[in-house]
Copies of this chain bind each other. A is one copy, B any other.
């Protein structure tokens, strides 16, 4: 799957992933109204609204980008109907040829991590039938529990030719509270990065490992160091746009080959129509506004890479 992701990045010339993190406040009113008219102001209504909203965006941008990253929390908050919308979104994106990175940040001890891995990347054995519950191509994984929380994901990835991105240095303001604490003279995130490189070294695609890392765009200096510590690791970079990361901050996340990183933007793309720059699209043009925002983001990154 890492090979497919790289191939698609090269084809689209866009190391970009669109975060499908639908909050109801982003969903145009006319879409919400229609959904509530059909399903009431219920979880089903909310799930229908975010699904229709997602579909509009995906239809508008799928030819420009290699991948999407649905954030499962935004669906899970609407209970079972929300989880159905999550699955529907993942399946639809795969039909459109997109690589789907499930931003699930799961992580637990051995057999429990295995269950998560099976649920999201693999197949559960029911009687004689192997069946996929959800089926993303990659998922994000939390490393706090150590190797035996991560390795079950790797095992399923090997079997299913899928991949993971392990949290190393997250994009949020308080990520340093534990991740930056100094251990043996170096911050904890470097040790986690080393582990990711170690786990990944036995999981190589053609040029990069299918054990990737998450490093926030909001920490470019740390990204520069982690790029060196994990040369064969693909880095998923959240925090561009709404969270404050800019194209120029991102160049050091990439290797000399122009690969090695994929930049996520969520709100900046999916709620572009709510920004001043794209306000002229209006509510009904929200999907076209997203398309314009993808094109602008692509240019911003290409320019930054050209100028480095």
| A305 in the interface (beta carbon within 8 A) | no
Contact, CB under 8 Å: A79 / B119: yes
- Least CB distance from A180 to B in Å reads 9
Q: Cβ of A45: which chain B residues have Cβ within 8 Å of it?
A: 126-127
Q: Which of A8-16, A144-152, A245-253 contacts B (4 or more CB under 8 A)?
A: A144-152
Residues facing B in A239-260 (CB within 8 A) are none
Residues facing B in A17-71 (CB within 8 A) are 21, 23-24, 32, 36, 41-43, 45-46, 71
Q: Which residue of chain B has the shortest Cβ distance to A32 in the bound complex?
A: B127
| A74 in the interface (beta carbon within 8 A) | yes
Contact flag A77-B118 (CB < 8 Å), given A124-B43, A126-B24, A129-B41: yes
Question: Chain B CB within 10 Å — which of A41, A78, A112 has the most?
Answer: A112
- Least CB distance from A222 to B in Å reads 14
Copies in the complex: 2
Provide the bound-state CA to CA distance between A31 and B157, in Å.
31
* Between-chain CB contacts (< 8 Å), 22 pairs: A32-B127, A36-B126, A41-B128, A43-B124, A74-B115, A76-B115, A79-B87, A79-B119, A80-B83, A105-B107, A105-B142, A143-B144, A144-B178, A144-B179, A146-B174, A146-B177, A146-B178, A147-B177, A148-B173, A149-B174, A178-B191, A181-B191
Known: A36-B126, A78-B133, A146-B179. 14 other contacts (CB 8 A): A23-B115, A24-B125, A24-B126, A41-B126, A73-B115, A76-B116, A77-B116, A77-B124, A78-B124, A144-B167, A149-B172, A149-B174, A181-B191, A188-B188
6 smallest beta-carbon distances between A and B, as pairs:
A79-B133, A41-B127, A146-B177, A146-B174, A77-B119, A109-B172
* Interface residues, chain A, with chain B CB atoms under 8 Å away: 21, 23-24, 32, 36, 41-43, 45-46, 71, 73-74, 76-80, 82-84, 87, 105-113, 115-116, 118-120, 124-129, 131-134, 142-149, 167, 170-179, 181-184, 188, 191-192, 195
